[in-house]
């Protein structure tokens, strides 16, 4: 279930954040992680050489872990209301919730997404005392969910749905007709939810206690059931153990090359490059690559060279794989200090595309994974819920905690402008269709300049150093009129803090 964080102040090393605020104004500042600032400190050369935390760091980590485990280990039970007269868009598919059949289709589409949240009590992260990512790893978790969606599309049957989604039986969202008597207190269309209402796993309700509509099942697809071993294997790749290729341990290790370490905050641009390196590093995913755009530009020839191995071989090997599938990640800024409303319609049109695998970003101080929208509100998966670690090395481990049954929404105007948009193309034809469809969506922006662009040729043709997909710099800014001067002090998109 998604977490609604309590309003209590956050502690850093046992000191209340509010108490630190005044002191910070009078101290030299340096970058903390990618999104925060902290008072500058004189490093201890012996500690740096050893790469080990000192006793004070260990104490701080323990205090922060304890506090965050409490803060993110509970939730306020609440239901999200959906309009039955407006379509809900989820990653290129539309659902009009005016019938139980449509509610069921939406339910399956939402529950089938991979949900990755904070975890506690996992093996200690190398070079630190952290055994949880509570309080700092939410952008990594959002990035994991984006990559997991790309892998689902890559590996699973088209329109795959998790066959065991039926076991999640509570009613956790409501569907109303706006401005009708039902909105004020009538009976909503029952839908679905999670048996984890109290944040502790429970057994499904007996069939006689389940609302009748919850028992209405889509005929189970044999193809979906046959794909379950692949589903299990995919989730193991995101396990919280050091060997997992896309687990927190590997992502933190890869992030060290960008100056990050366990306990730092990560930005959507940095995470995009970490994901690219993680996929390039592993052998578990075959015939797929990740391309990260630079300066809000996708250089088509760079993508072609990345996806067509024969182009880099001299002489070309005719037996080599013709084309790799590709995940395209585009770090962007949709405004200066706040989201530029002119881009909202464009973001909606992007989320309507089947090639879109979501957006990682969030609201200020809160990273989220956006997968759709209804009217003027975004639909998202929230990583801010601390769950016990799951041993994914066990045969037939439970998948329940990796699927969320509580859809949440937030207004577009609360969206932080710093984000990374993801797309997937299975083959060359799909990539060409992607370029065309996304370009049309981008042209819907009311702003003079699009969110990003597709350009023929390679990045080096435009004076960029090397492959644009290998560049790890910040995302370029897309600023509303009149904000240029004000934003010059925020050249790096990773300066925005996400907790």
Tokens 């973001």 — which residue? 347
Asked if omega into 315 is within 30° of 0 (cis), the reply is yes
Report, in angstroms and rounded to the nearest whole number, the Rg of the chain calculated over CA atoms.
23
Q: Whole-angstrom Cα distance, residue 221 to residue 461?
A: 49
**Nearest CA to 454 among 473, 435, 440?**
435
CA–chain centroid gap for 206, Å, is 34
Q: Whole-angstrom Cα distance, residue 120 to residue 69?
A: 7
Give the DSSP per-residue string, 206-266: PGGGS-GGGG--PPPPHHHHHTHHHHHHHHHTT-SSTT-TTSHHHHHHHHGGGT--TT---
Q: Whole-angstrom Cα distance, residue 90 to residue 373?
A: 7
**Structure token digits, residue 84:** 């039955």
> Active-site residue numbers?
138, 382, 384
**Nearest CA to 384 among 400, 367, 370, 401?**
367
- Map 111-168 to HEC letters: HCCCCCCCEECCCCCCCCCCCECCCCCHHHHHHHHHHHHHHHHHHCCCCCCCHHHHHC
**Structure token digits, residue 351:** 């989320």
**Structure token digits, residue 162:** 């998790």
**Structure token digits, residue 487:** 């934003």
Q: Whole-angstrom Cα distance, residue 463 to residue 389?
A: 46
* Cβ contact 57:13 at 8 Å: no
Q: Whole-angstrom Cα distance, residue 234 to residue 372?
A: 23
Q: Whole-angstrom Cα distance, residue 217 to residue 220?
A: 8
**Nearest CA to 356 among 313, 301, 403, 419?**
419
């Amino acid at each position: 279930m998604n977490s609604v964080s309590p309003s209590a102040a956050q502690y850093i090393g046992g000191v209340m954040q509010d108490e630190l605020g005044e002191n910070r104004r009078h101290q030299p500042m340096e970058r903390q992680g990618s999104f925060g600032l902290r008072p500058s400190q004189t490093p201890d050369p012996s500690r740096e050489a050893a790469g080990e935390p000192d006793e004070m760091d260990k104490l701080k980590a323990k205090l922060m872990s304890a506090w965050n485990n409490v803060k993110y280990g509970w939730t306020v039970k609440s239901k999200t209301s959906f309009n039955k007269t407006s379509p809900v868009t989820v990653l290129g598919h539309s659902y009009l919730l005016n019938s139980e059949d449509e509610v069921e289709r939406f339910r399956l589409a939402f529950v089938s997404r991979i949900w990755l949240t904070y975890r506690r009590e996992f093996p200690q992260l190398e070079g630190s005392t952290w055994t949880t990512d509570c309080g700092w790893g939410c952008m990594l978790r959002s990035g994991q969910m984006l990559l997991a969606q790309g892998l689902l599309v890559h590996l699973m049957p088209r329109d795959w749905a998790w066959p065991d989604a039926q076991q999640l039986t509570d009613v956790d969202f409501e569907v109303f007709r706006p401005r009708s008597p039902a909105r004020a207190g009538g009976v909503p269309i029952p839908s679905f939810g999670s048996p984890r209402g109290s944040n502790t796993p429970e057994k499904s309700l007996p069939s006689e206690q389940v609302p009748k509509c919850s028992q209405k099942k889509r005929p189970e697809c044999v193809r979906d059931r046959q794909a379950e071993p692949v589903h299990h294997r995919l989730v193991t790749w995101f396990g919280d153990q050091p060997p997992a290729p896309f687990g927190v341990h590997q992502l933190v290790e890869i992030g060290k090359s960008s100056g990050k370490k366990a306990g730092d905050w990560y930005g959507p641009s940095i995470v995009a490059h970490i994901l690219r390196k993680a996929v390039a590093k592993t052998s578990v995913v075959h015939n797929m690559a990740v391309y990260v755009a630079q300066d809000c530009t996708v250089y088509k020839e760079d993508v072609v060279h990345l996806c067509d191995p024969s182009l880099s071989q001299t002489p070309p090997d005719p037996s080599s794989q013709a084309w790799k599938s590709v995940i395209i990640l585009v770090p962007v800024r949709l405004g200066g200090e706040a989201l530029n409303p002119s881009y909202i319609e464009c973001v909606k049109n992007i989320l309507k595309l089947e090639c879109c695998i979501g957006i990682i970003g969030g609201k200020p101080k809160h990273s989220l994974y956006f997968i759709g929208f209804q009217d003027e509100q975004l639909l998202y998966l929230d990583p801010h819920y601390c769950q016990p670690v799951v041993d994914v090395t066990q045969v037939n481990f439970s998948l329940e905690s990796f699927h969320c049954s509580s859809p949440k929404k937030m207004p577009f105007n609360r969206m932080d402008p710093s984000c990374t948009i993801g797309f997937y193309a299975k083959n060359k034809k799909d990539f060409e269709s992607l370029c065309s469809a996304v370009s049309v969506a981008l042209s819907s922006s009311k702003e003079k300049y699009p969110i990003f662009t597709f350009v023929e040729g390679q990045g080096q043709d435009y004076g960029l150093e090397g492959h644009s997909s290998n560049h790890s710099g910040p995302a370029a800014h897309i600023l509303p009129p009149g904000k240029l001067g004000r934003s010059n002090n925020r050249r790096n998109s990773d300066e925005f803090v996400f907790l």
